[in-house]
Amino acid sequence: MKTLQKIIYIYPVLLLLLTSSCREPIFIFDPGLPGLPIYTQRGNDVGGAIFNETQIWNSKLSANGLFQYYDYIPIICDTVDNKLKIKLPGYIINSSTSNYNEVDIIFEITNSRVKSFEDLLLLDQTEFDLASAEHKAYVDIDAHDFYYGREEDFQPINQIGKLHIRKLSGINRFILAGTFGFEYEDSVNVKHTVHQGRFDYNLSDVGFRYEEN
């Protein structure tokens, strides 16, 4: 808890820099979990989680600002293998140096119903068991290009957890909101934990692409 308290002293200045954009994220602190945004379903363009028990992960979705990052949520649809890959762009602050590390959260789910951007609405009020071989979630540290990256072959080991898409609705621009938590081991048997996850984003078809098989 001391580590979490130390981290949140950095956030007021950081958030000021992050929100200097044409569509500013609305970050409202969760009073019960310092450093995380409260869970909302309004399209606030924020997300957060506790990473490896002591670190705070937050989204950095914005149209401009301090870092080079997305102003949309990237989604890749594979209509051949019925896979959907969703990236939540984010970062973790190093409490000792005040530097940040790019850490994205990736969900890969199996779903035969989604064939287009408009079909995403079919995922409203759905739950995915991340212990199933059909779905997976993992963190991409020092994140790279999502659409042309190397992470597609990554296989979490001994994974458990859930992804809840609690709201996916709208016209033209959708609101995607939900909660998540998971644990897994990587290829060198290092355990990663992501708890108390929550997100609330606007979705547009700008970030939706089809898998190039």
pLDDT tens readout for residues 59-118: 866 655 444 456 789 999 999 999 999 999 999 877 666 778 889 999 999 999 999 999
Rounded distance between C-alpha atoms, residue 69 and residue 54, angstroms? 24
Contacts 24+ apart (CB under 8 A), 109-112: 109/83, 109/84, 109/134, 109/135, 109/163, 110/82, 110/83, 110/84, 110/134, 110/135, 111/82, 111/83, 111/84, 112/82
- The separation between CA 212 and the C-alpha centre of its own chain, rounded to angstroms, equals 23
pLDDT reported for residue 72: 87
Per the DSSP assignment, residues forming a β-bridge with 201 are: 176
- Compute, in degrees rounded to 10, the torsion defined by CA atoms 56, 191, 180, 23: 40
Domains contained in the chain, number: 1
Rounded distance between C-alpha atoms, residue 24 and residue 10, angstroms? 19
pLDDT reported for residue 213: 63
Q: Name every residue whose Cβ is closer than 8 Å to that of residue 112 and which is 6 or more positions away in sequence.
A: 82
Name residues of the chain where pLDDT drops below 50.
Answer: 4, 6-21, 65-68, 148-150
- The separation between CA 42 and the C-alpha centre of its own chain, rounded to angstroms, equals 16
Rounded distance between C-alpha atoms, residue 72 and residue 205, angstroms? 9
Structure tokens at 82: 């019925």
Give this prediction's pTM.
0.83
Helix (H) or strand (E) holding 17: helix 11-18
Q: Report CA-CA distances (Å) from 165 to 126, 136, 200.
A: 5, 15, 10
pLDDT reported for residue 65: 45
Domain residue limits at 91:
2-210
